[in-house]
């Protein structure tokens, strides 16, 4: 087997209209400036995409980027990134996934796959080291995500596919690889619009070896040790999956209840990770390779099903007031097979339920009732009946039917399962996150509500925190390594580990820039330089993160995003919750002003020319 | 445009204009949830066959259940309490639910009185007399003016005489405004030329004074300017060709617009003198207006000259306006009004009076003998319109203006006592 | 010319404009037999101290404010409106005062419908709903007042309710309340006024009555718009612009909305830009389309925009062209006016959605025209 | 859910200083009415035109202050105090609010501007109201120095209307009567 030292740096560009492909090389400069994964993918699309195109037109492109660490055996590195223009939000969307397709693509010798154009008939794409082949997908069309992958099993070691939802252009349809997803932003619809059912990669043709083995091994060992020591990564998540968040969120009043009208619920324990693990005999069901092992499956009423992730539990469970784990697992299974994002689906259903209650919209959905929900999910996937409109997402629905105040989305992307009225810094993060209401751009709720390292109600310092974590996570997603390694990387180094939490809180809240500057995150850049053999320090790593974030922001501002879009649903800004006697809402305006300032954006939220120049982003 | 420091404007009347506007009555009534209107009018209007037009228009409109439940046509030229009571009684016995007033000022006043009684109950109008005593929505009321001039369909005042105690009861409330005013060209078609000219000049006066007096405001200016343009460009044509329906409609529109303007921005010395002349000598209102208008503008020249100059454009058209140097435009406007009077005088065969001495009553005598002028001046000094006039007037000033207007000579501008230049708003 | 068989005109509000206008509210409410108003406004207005000024203005009167609800957000949903209606009932108020613009006024209209008719707002969706007389309703506008707010239309949850009964009964434009905050908001506001006045003026259904109001609104706007945008805190220009909005509301309510207004509203909804900016970006295109289609402008456009002297001096057949030129000149002289939709970064597919939305809402508009306007503005 | 307690009822406050000022001015004007009716020729003429049962209530709505002036049994004008209770008012002139009254009595708005700004509601016989306003104008001319009176009236009387001799005698006598 051939070896690739570090990265292959080869781009495979496929034009579906003709089935032809070209092979290109990623420039040295881009690799240095954008690391790989998310950052590099954005840069490649920045060079190729025209401004103002319709995301569902053939002009749109989708890029798949296996991470730099992929295949090297670094902990939790089995992830790849996809980047495209979202049909749900109309701006750039990036998503990360731990399915087998990443490894297959990387070991076929490609560091980037860019798909453009539109196939004349339903097809799927076969990829090996020689290039790409467009194949007829007649027998696959109409099959769900799991069936499709089973049918493609023989052709390659990893595939990414859409279900019926993607074929029917449901705006929040996702891409499925294995049983993991490129969830948000409706990438499935982009596939559907291109008549592309799946991409399968042969894989196993190359072996990836790090350039600087010694350095890499050292960093790998350290990170593994951290992960196995950290209470979240080696405890809560390993045992109960992300659903361990349910109890934490419920206690911190950030669990969405009844379309974000409440922050906690007495029955929430019924769907918590702990309860599910105990009742349904769960087993691991994870990405590969992985050291955290957060994915689980269990026996639900005699059927083996994936345990819903926290976001699914939050948005399709407590947010719809459904507290039945079996029903939840079934709904999760339907979304899995149809290929739909559970967060957006849950958010849209919650809107529909509330709008029905208020008389704005006609449907047979009701809070707290599982009746009709399963049927509605299928209707959405097949664009039948009311599903035809629900499939457009809550922004579109609320613009058509009214109810914009309780359409819980930012920039069109539905909110994840953390109510920012209980963690206002996270509210700012939702408002300014590049892809919409994204919980992963900073994950500030962990700091504010779970670990108590920042005050959830203080406005001060939040702008700086949001900027710092956005940068770091943007860089992290370019390595590309699992988001949850951040728990280990941030919490386990001696400085943080040994300082008492109240002291930490005091530091983070009052001396934010200093406290964040001394955080030791050097493991991530070390892994990267181990694999590529190039030098990269912590400062460089953060700067690259900033560059990636600002580039994405700049691409979005070219599409018309500005301050007017950096906002939260009216409900979060003006409606206090019943559970919260202090009547808190998110003081967004105050924080936003400071955020723009620390970000060096102008008052309207547009990156200044000086900033772009400093980061070396060429204006187009 | 002048935006005064403070003003109030209100015109709550829905205006419907057109050659077939009457046909809208049923739908308007339906909008107000009424279908059994009572028509109030006077003998003159009924005699001219106008009520028949209204009734057939209501009947011919399909899709509505509207039926006229009663017609009361006994309104005298001076509205009075007993008549109001009588009409209210008929309204109640016939079970009506709306009022249509067809006619001029007295008909409208009577209808407003009836409306107070039937909406608020009782037989005693006295309780509701005065400013703002009526404080709730009354029954639907539609006004159909039959002269294009008075603009009384736009006013919130009603004056009803109580002959038993020989007092005049004033009623002032926004709820007295009719809900709808219908301007239909058929209603004014039969108006004789002399009456057409005097009512049109009446409306023109409303508009001119509204534009040049103290309480002017941008909204009333808007309507005043359009009113002047409509009236000045159409009145002569209509007087010459009484069947010019477009012209008739334009006049009706102009008069309604003028009504909107003057009921909000009030009027000045032209009305002050006009009211007095009418009161003392019984001269029709419109006739006095056309005579006094140029004098009023002339008297106030040092105060409102610039505004008067602006009136030249709608009065005489752009050609004249452009050809006139800036500093004499005001004088030109006054001259134009005099010329208009002159032309109307000729077009009506001398029946449109140019000066006070030319006003001839039905019995052929002179209605305003010169010795009555002091009386008129004294009465004028107790008329409220003077407070809206840009320049102060005392008895002697009134006399000077009256004497000139009697003779038909222009004012001697030097003799006017000037309190200052320009106006404060 | 315009020979319709009949046309209507209606403008319900009593306008009180200028110094100490708010002090007159108690007297006017008393005329409606109302002494217990329910006041709603938005957080921005109350935090900038304007709500306090309002309360002070009511000192020494018999008017007891039932509640001053100052949390109306920029989007007032049906849920909030229902809750506020219940609140009003519980407090036993007999009238409504809205301080502000946009969502505050719409919410007040919605509340009024619920408490006066006893039915829900959504039952009245559509044109000319028969509402019957509602409770006395006062609007105290602030700087961002657009004509739309002062008409008998209410936009609630994206649905439009149009009725003569929905007009405010009293509009109190007070010099203390209408000073603008910044050029940006003033520009957006002024452009809405300009668009609505202009479209009412140029509408093929225009009549004498609406003409009077529309041309006056245009005159005031033409005189003050540039200054208002340059110096948004100048009391006099703010008063003038608020007056212009009020006057053009009278014309706007009695005319069908034109293409620029409809498209602007639709675009604003889809992109989140202020409606005024969208309209400003579309306005030149719409005017160009008009001259391309050889639909002559009215000659008195010049009178309204260019002033009496220029109008009178021009030759008769030249006036329409000069009017158009004057108008274009005026629009381009507004500082910071968006240059076409591209400066607002509106992509074509969004613009196409806006066309569909506008065409659906106003079936009287020709879809072809809308498409041409959009493609010219892009 | 709306927390009703956050939005309490607001009772109107008081503007005490302004009330005191307006009340004082009304008192002076009331006394001056009485005084001028006995000294000035043209004022006498105006009063003569008024009906015999004339009682004027000049006030600020809704809570006062008031100024009541009327004809007594002998047809003489007298100041009847500040309490309208129990008096048969034939002519009410109401200023719509205290702020408007302040503007009038601080001469920010002359009486004619105030009238044209609709600050006054007149309830009763209009011709009599005209007489009252004439007298008010006269009082301003007599009581105030020329520069101040000029702000209040439309046209400061010329020599031909009011000779300095008459003006000064009337002014002096009115002041004497006012204080005495």
Check whether domain B14-186 has CATH 2.60.40.10, yes or no? no
- pLDDT confidence bin for A468, thresholds 50/70/90: very high
This prediction has a pTM of 0.90
Q: Is the pLDDT of residue C1 over 60?
A: no
Q: Do A583 and D1 touch (CB under 8 A)?
A: no
Instruction: Inform me whether the pLDDT recorded for A508 exceeds 90.
Output: no
Chains near D, with 3+ CB pairs < 8 A?
A: A, B, C
pLDDT tens-digit map of C290-308: 888 877 778 888 888 888 8
* Pairwise CB contact (< 8 Å): D3 & A578: no
Evaluate if residue C129 carries a pLDDT over 70: no
Arithmetic mean of pLDDT, A558-570: 90
- Answer whether residue C3 shows pLDDT above 60: no
Interface with chain D: mutation pick from C59, C60, C76, highest number of D CBs within 10 Å:
C60
pLDDT in tens, B294-329: 998 989 888 888 889 989 999 988 888 888 898 899
User: Packing angle between helix C275-292 and helix C367-377, nearest 10 degrees?
Assistant: 110
- Chains A and B are touching, with contact defined as 3 or more CB–CB pairs separated by less than 8 Å: no
Whether residue C340 lies within 8 A of chain A, CB to CB, comes out as no
Q: Write out the two tokens for A143.
A: 């099959």
Residues B21-48 have pLDDT tens digits of 888 889 888 888 888 899 999 888 888 8
Domain ranges of chain A: 2-209, 242-414, 420-615
Q: What is the pLDDT of residue C339?
A: 84
CATH 1.20.1090.10 domain locations along chain B: 191-415
CB proximity under 8 Å: B 1-20 to C: 1, 3-20
Q: How far is B31 from chain D (nearest CA, A)?
A: 33
Closest approach of B175 to chain D, Cα-based (Å): 16
Please tell us whether the domain made up of C14-174 is placed in CATH 3.40.50.1970: yes
Residue C20 with chain B: CB contacts under 8 Å: 6
CB B124 within 8 A of CB B153: no
**Residue numbers in B near C16 (CB within 8 A):** 6-8
Which CATH number describes the domain made up of A420-615? 1.10.599.10
Using a CB-CB cut-off of 8 Å, the residues of chain C touching B318 are: 311-312, 316
Specify whether the CB–CB gap between C254 and C9 falls below 8 A. Answer: yes
Band the pLDDT of B105: cuts 50, 70, 90: confident
Cβ distance D155 to B7 less than 8 Å, yes or no, reads no
Mutate to test the interface with C, among A402, A553, A566, A587 (most CBs of C within 10 A): A402
On whether the CB atoms of residues A217 and A142 are closer than 8 A, the answer is no
Question: Among B129, B303, B387, B424, which would you mutate to test the D interface (most chain D Cβ atoms within 10 Å of its Cβ)?
Answer: B387
Distance CA B188, CA B193 (A): 11
Write down the residue that tokens 């959009």 correspond to. C374
DSSP designation for C296: P
pLDDT at residue B246, as a whole number? 87
Contacts of B205 (CB under 8 A, 6+ apart): B267, B270, B271, B274, B289, B290, B292, B293, B296
Residue A531 has pLDDT above 50, yes or no: yes
Query: Pick from C31, C164, C239: which is nearest to B14 by CB?
Result: C164
Identify whether C10 is preceded by a cis peptide bond (ω within 30 of 0).
no
Question: Is the CB of C83 less than 8 angstroms away from the CB of D100?
Answer: no
Helix locations, C118-207, DSSP H: 183-202
Q: According to the model, what pLDDT value does residue B384 have? A: 84
Compute the average pLDDT of residues A529-540: 91
Q: How many CA within 13 A on the CB side of residue B241? A: 7
Segment A3-56, tens digit of pLDDT: 888 888 899 999 999 989 999 999 999 999 999 889 999 999 999 999 889 999
User: pLDDT above 70 covers what percent of chain A?
Assistant: 100
Contacts with A576 from chain D: Cβ below 8 Å: 3
Of A606 and B159, more confident? A606
| CATH 3.40.50.1970 residue spans of chain B | 14-186
Residues of D in contact with A578 (CB under 8 A): 1
Confidence band of A76 (pLDDT split at 50, 70, 90): confident
Distance CA A425, CA B13 (A): 55
Look at residue A593 in the predicted model and tell me its pLDDT: 93
CA distance C146 to chain D (A): 25
Contact at CB, A578 and D1, closer than 8 angstroms: yes
**Highest mean pLDDT: which of A461-465, C6-10, D113-117?**
A461-465
Q: Cα dihedral sign for B104, B107, B110, B115?
A: negative
Q: Residue A339 in contact with residue A166, Cβ under 8 Å?
A: yes
Q: How far apart are CA A438 and CA C2, in angstroms?
A: 57
Residues 109-168 of C with CB under 8 A from A: 120, 122, 156-159
| Fold that domain C183-377 belongs to in CATH | Dehydroquinate synthase-like, alpha domain (1.20.1090)
CATH number, span A2-209: 3.60.9.10
- The rounded mean pLDDT for chain D is 86
With b for 16 or more beta-carbon neighbours within 10 A and e for fewer, the A362-374 pattern comes to ebebbbeebeebe
Percentage of the residues of chain C whose pLDDT score is greater than 70: 97
Q: How many CB atoms lie within 10 A of CB A302?
A: 6
Q: How far apart are CA A138 and CA A580, in angstroms?
A: 54
User: How does pLDDT run across C186-245, given as a tens digit for each residue?
Assistant: 888 889 999 999 988 888 888 888 888 898 999 999 988 888 888 888 888 889 999 999
Q: Which fold has domain B191-415?
A: Dehydroquinate synthase-like, alpha domain (1.20.1090)
For residue A182, the cross-strand partners are A175
Size of interface B-C (CB pairs under 8 A): 140
pLDDT at B413 over 80: yes
Strands A175-177 and D66-71: unpaired
pLDDT at B73 over 80: yes
Taking contacts as CB-CB distances below 8 angstroms, the residues of chain D near B420 are: 154-155
pLDDT at residue number A294: 86
Q: How confident is the model at residue C2 (pLDDT cuts 50, 70, 90)?
A: very low
- List of E strands, C19-87: 37-41, 67-69
pLDDT digits (tens, 9 = 90+) for C362-373: 888 888 888 888
Tell me which DSSP letter residue C232 carries.
T
| Chains touching C by CB (3 or more pairs below 8 Å) | A, B, D
pLDDT in tens, B175-210: 888 999 998 888 888 888 888 888 888 889 989 988
pLDDT value of position B149? 62
In this prediction the ipTM stands at: 0.88
The rounded mean pLDDT for chain C is: 86
The secondary structure of residue A58, as a DSSP letter, is T
- pLDDT tens for C27-73 read 889 888 899 999 999 988 888 889 999 999 988 888 899 899 988 88
User: Three-state DSSP class for C140?
Assistant: strand
Q: Vertex B143, ends B137 and B147: CA angle to 5°?
A: 150
Whether B319 and C211 lie within 8 Å, measured CB to CB: no
Whether A345 shows a pLDDT value over 90: the answer reads yes
Are the beta carbons of A422 and A263 closer than 8 angstroms? yes
Q: What pLDDT is recorded for position C95?
A: 93
Q: CA-CA distance, B191 to A121, in Å (whole number)?
A: 79
For residue B382, give the chain D residue with the closest CA.
Answer: D127
DSSP label of C118: S
CB A358 to CB C79 under 8 A?
Answer: yes
Q: What is the mean pLDDT of residues D147-161?
A: 81
CB contact under 8 A, B1 and C211: no
DSSP structure class, residue C64: P
C-alpha separations of A370 from A97, A388, A392 in Å: 29, 20, 22
> Which chain A residues are within 8 Å of D2, Cβ to Cβ?
none
Residue in B closest to C172 by C-alpha: B8
Interchain proximity B214–D156, CB inside 8 Å: no
| Assigned CATH topology for domain A242-414 | 1.10.569
* C-alpha–C-alpha distance, residues A573 and A589, integer Å: 10
Work out the percent of chain C whose per-residue pLDDT is above 90: 17
| Average pLDDT of every residue of chain B | 87
Distance, in Å, from the CA atom of A159 to the CA atom of A213, rounded to the nearest integer, reads 30
Q: How far apart are CA A306 and CA A327, in angstroms?
A: 12
Residues in chain C closer than 8 A to A565 (CB atoms): 272
Q: Is the pLDDT higher at D73 or at C165?
A: C165
> What CATH fold (topology level) applies to the domain D15-174?
Nonspecific Lipid-transfer Protein; Chain A (3.30.1050)
A526 within 8 A of A220, measured Cβ to Cβ: no
Between residues 192 and 211 of chain C, which touch chain B (CB distance below 8 Å)? 207-209, 211
pLDDT value of position D39: 84
């Amino acid at each position: 087997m051939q070896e690739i030292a570090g990265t292959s740096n080869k781009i495979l560009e496929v034009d579906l209209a003709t089935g032809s492909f070209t092979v290109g090389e990623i420039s040295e400069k881009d690799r240095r400036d954008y690391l790989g994964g998310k950052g590099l993918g954005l840069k490649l699309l920045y060079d190729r995409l025209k401004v103002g195109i319709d995301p569902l037109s053939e002009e749109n492109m989708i890029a798949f980027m296996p991470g730099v660490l992929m295949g090297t055996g670094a902990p939790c590195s089995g992830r790849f990134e996809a980047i495209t223009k979202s049909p749900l939000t109309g701006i750039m969307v990036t998503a990360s996934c731990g399915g087998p397709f990443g490894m297959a693509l990387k070991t076929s010798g490609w560091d980037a796959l860019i798909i453009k154009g539109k196939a004349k008939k339903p097809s799927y794409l076969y990829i090996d080291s020689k290039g790409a082949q467009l194949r007829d997908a007649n027998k696959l069309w109409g099959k769900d995500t799991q069936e499709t992958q089973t049918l493609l099993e023989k052709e390659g070691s990893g595939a990414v596919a859409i279900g019926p939802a993607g074929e029917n252009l449901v705006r929040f349809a996702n891409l499925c690889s294995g049983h993991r997803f490129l969830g948000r932003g409706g990438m499935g619809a982009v596939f559907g619009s291109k008549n592309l059912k799946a991409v399968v990669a042969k894989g196993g043709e190359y072996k990836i070896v790090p350039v600087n083995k010694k350095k890499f091994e050292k960093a790998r060992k350290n990170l593994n040790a951290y992960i196995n020591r950290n209470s979240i990564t080696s405890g809560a998540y390993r045992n109960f999956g992300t659903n361990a968040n349910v109890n934490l969120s419920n206690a911190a009043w950030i669990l969405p209840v009844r379309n974000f009208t409440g922050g906690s619920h007495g029955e929430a324990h019924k769907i918590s990770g702990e309860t599910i693990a105990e009742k349904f005999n769960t087993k691991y069901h994870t990405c590969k390779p992985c050291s955290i092992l957060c994915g689980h499956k269990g026996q639900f009423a005699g059927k083996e099903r994936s345990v819903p992730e926290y976001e699914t539990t939050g948005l399709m469970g407590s947010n719809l007031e459904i507290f039945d784990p079996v029903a939840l697992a079934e709904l999760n299974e339907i979304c899995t097979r149809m290929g739909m994002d559970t967060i957006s689906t849950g958010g849209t259903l919650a809107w529909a339920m509330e709008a029905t209650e208020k008389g704005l919209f006609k449907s047979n959905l009701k809070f707290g009732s599982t009746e009709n929900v399963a049927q509605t999910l299928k209707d959405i996937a097949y664009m039948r009946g009311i599903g035809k409109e629900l499939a457009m997402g809550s922004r579109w629905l609320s613009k058509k039917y009214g109810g914009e105040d309780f359409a819980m989305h930012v920039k069109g992307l539905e909110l994840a399962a953390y109510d920012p009225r209980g963690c206002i810094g996270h509210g700012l993060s939702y408002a300014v996150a590049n892809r919409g209401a994204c919980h992963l751009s900073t994950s500030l709720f962990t700091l504010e509500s779970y670990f108590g390292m920042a005050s959830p109600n203080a406005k001060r310092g939040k702008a700086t925190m949001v900027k710092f974590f956005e940068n770091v996570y943007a860089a992290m997603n370019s390595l590309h390594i699992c988001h949850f390694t951040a728990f280990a990387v941030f919490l386990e180094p001696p400085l943080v580990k040994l300082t008492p939490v109240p002291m930490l809180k005091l530091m983070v809240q009052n001396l934010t820039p200093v406290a964040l500057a001394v955080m030791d995150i050097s493991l991530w850049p070390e892994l990267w330089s181990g694999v590529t053999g190039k030098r990269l320090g912590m400062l460089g790593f953060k700067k690259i993160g900033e560059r990636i974030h600002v580039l994405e922001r700049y691409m979005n501002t070219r599409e018309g995003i500005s301050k007017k879009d950096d906002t939260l649903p009216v409900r979060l800004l003006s409606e206090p919750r019943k559970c919260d006697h202090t009547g808190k809402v998110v003081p967004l305006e105050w924080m936003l002003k400071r955020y723009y300032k620390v970000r060096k954006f102008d008052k309207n939220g547009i990156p200044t020319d000086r900033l772009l120049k400093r980061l070396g982003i060429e204006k187009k | 445009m002048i935006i005064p420091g403070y003003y109030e404007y209100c015109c709550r009347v829905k205006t419907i204009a057109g050659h077939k506007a009457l046909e809208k009555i049923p739908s308007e009534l339906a909008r107000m949830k009424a279908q059994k209107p009572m028509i109030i009018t006077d003998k003159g209007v009924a005699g001219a066959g106008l009520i028949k037009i209204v009734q057939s228009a209501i009947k011919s409109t399909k899709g509505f259940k509207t039926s006229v439940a009663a017609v009361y046509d006994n309104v005298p030229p001076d509205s009075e309490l007993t008549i109001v009571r009588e009409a209210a009684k008929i309204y109640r016995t016939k079970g009506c639910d709306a009022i249509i007033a067809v006619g001029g000022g007295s008909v409208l006043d009577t209808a407003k009185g009836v409306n107070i009684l039937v909406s608020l109950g009782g037989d005693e109008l006295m309780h509701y007399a005065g400013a703002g005593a009526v404080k709730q929505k009354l029954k639907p009321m539609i006004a159909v003016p039959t002269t294009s001039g008075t603009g009384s369909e736009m006013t919130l005042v009603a004056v009803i005489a109580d002959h038993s105690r020989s007092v005049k009861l004033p009623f002032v409330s926004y709820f007295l405004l009719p809900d709808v005013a219908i301007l239909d060209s058929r209603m004014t078609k039969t108006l004789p030329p002399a009456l057409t000219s005097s009512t049109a000049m009446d409306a023109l006066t409303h508009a001119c004074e509204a534009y040049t007096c103290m309480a002017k405001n941008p909204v009333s200016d808007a309507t005043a300017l359009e009113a002047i343009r409509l009236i000045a460009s159409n009145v002569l044509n209509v007087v010459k060709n009484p069947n010019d329906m477009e012209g008739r409609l334009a006049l009706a529109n102009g008069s309604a617009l003028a009504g909107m303007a003057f009921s909000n921005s009030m009027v000045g010395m032209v009305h002050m003198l006009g009211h007095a002349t009418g009161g003392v000598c019984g001269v029709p209102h419109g006739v006095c207006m056309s005579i006094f208008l140029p004098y009023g503008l002339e008297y106030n020249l040092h105060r409102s000259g610039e505004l008067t100059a602006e009136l030249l454009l709608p009065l005489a058209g752009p050609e004249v306006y452009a050809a006139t140097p800036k500093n004499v435009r005001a004088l030109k406007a006054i001259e134009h009004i005099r010329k208009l009077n002159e032309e109307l005088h000729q077009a009506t065969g001398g029946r449109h009076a140019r000066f006070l001495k030319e006003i001839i009553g039905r019995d052929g005598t002179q209605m305003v003998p010169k010795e009555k002028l002091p009386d008129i001046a004294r009465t004028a000094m107790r008329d409220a319109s003077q407070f809206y006039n840009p320049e102060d007037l005392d008895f002697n000033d009134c006399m000077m203006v009256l004497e000139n207007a009697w003779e038909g000579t222009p004012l001697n501008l030097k003799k006017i006592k000037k309190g200052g230049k320009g106006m404060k708003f | 010319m315009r020979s319709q068989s009949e046309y209507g005109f209606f403008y319900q509000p009593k306008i009180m404009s200028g110094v100490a206008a708010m002090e007159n509210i108690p007297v006017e409410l008393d005329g409606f037999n109302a002494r217990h108003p329910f006041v709603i406004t938005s957080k921005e207005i109350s935090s900038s101290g304007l709500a306090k000024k309002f309360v002070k203005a009511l000192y020494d009167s018999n008017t007891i404010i039932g509640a001053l609800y100052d949390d109306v957000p920029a989007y007032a949903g049906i849920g909030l409106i229902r809750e506020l209606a219940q609140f009003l009932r519980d407090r036993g108020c007999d009238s409504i005062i809205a301080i502000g613009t946009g969502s505050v006024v719409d919410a007040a209209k919605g509340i009024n419908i619920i408490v006066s008719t006893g039915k829900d707002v959504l039952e009245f969706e559509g044109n000319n709903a028969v509402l019957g007389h509602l409770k006395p309703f006062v609007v105290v506008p602030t700087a961002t007042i657009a004509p739309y707010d002062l008409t008998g239309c209410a936009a609630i949850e994206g649905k439009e309710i149009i009725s003569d009964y929905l007009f405010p009964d009293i509009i109190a434009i007070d010099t203390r309340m209408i000073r603008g905050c910044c050029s940006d908001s003033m520009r957006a506001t002024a452009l809405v006024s300009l668009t609505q006045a202009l479209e009412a003026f140029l509408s093929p259904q225009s009549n004498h009555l609406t003409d009077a109001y529309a041309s006056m609104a245009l005159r005031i706007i033409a005189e003050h718009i540039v200054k208002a945008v340059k110096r948004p805190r100048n009391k006099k220009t703010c008063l003038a612009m608020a007056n212009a909005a009020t006057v053009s509301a009278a014309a706007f309510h009695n005319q069908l909305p034109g293409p620029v207004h409809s498209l602007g509203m639709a675009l604003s909804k889809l992109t989140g830009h202020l409606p005024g900016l969208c309209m400003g970006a579309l306005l030149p295109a719409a005017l160009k389309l008009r001259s391309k289609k050889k639909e002559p402008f009215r000659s008195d456009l010049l009178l309204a925009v260019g002033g009496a002297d220029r109008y009178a001096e021009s030759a008769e057949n030249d006036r329409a062209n000069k009017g158009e030129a004057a108008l274009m000149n005026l629009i381009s002289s507004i500082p910071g006016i968006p240059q076409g939709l591209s400066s607002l970064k509106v992509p074509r597919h969004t613009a196409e959605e806006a066309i569909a939305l506008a065409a659906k809402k106003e079936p009287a508009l020709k879809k072809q025209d809308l498409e041409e306007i959009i493609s010219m503005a892009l | 859910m709306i927390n009703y307690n956050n939005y309490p009822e607001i009772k109107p406050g008081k503007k005490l200083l302004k009330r005191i000022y307006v009340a004082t001015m009304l008192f002076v004007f009331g006394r001056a009415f009485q005084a001028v009716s006995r000294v000035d020729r043209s004022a006498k003429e105006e009063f003569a035109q008024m009906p015999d049962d004339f009682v004027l209530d000049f006030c600020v709505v809704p809570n006062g202050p008031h100024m009541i002036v009327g004809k007594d049994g002998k047809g003489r004008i007298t100041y009847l105090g500040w309490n309208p209770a129990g008096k048969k008012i034939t002519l009410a002139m109401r200023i719509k609010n205290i702020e408007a009254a302040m503007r009038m009595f601080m001469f920010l708005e002359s009486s004619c501007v105030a009238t044209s700004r609709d600050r006054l509601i007149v309830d009763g016989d209009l011709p009599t109201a005209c007489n009252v306003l004439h007298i008010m104008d006269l009082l301003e001319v007599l009581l105030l120095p020329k520069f101040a009176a000029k702000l209040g009236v439309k046209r400061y009387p010329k020599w031909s209307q009011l000779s300095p001799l008459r003006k000064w005698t009337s002014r002096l006598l009115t002041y004497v009567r006012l204080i005495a």
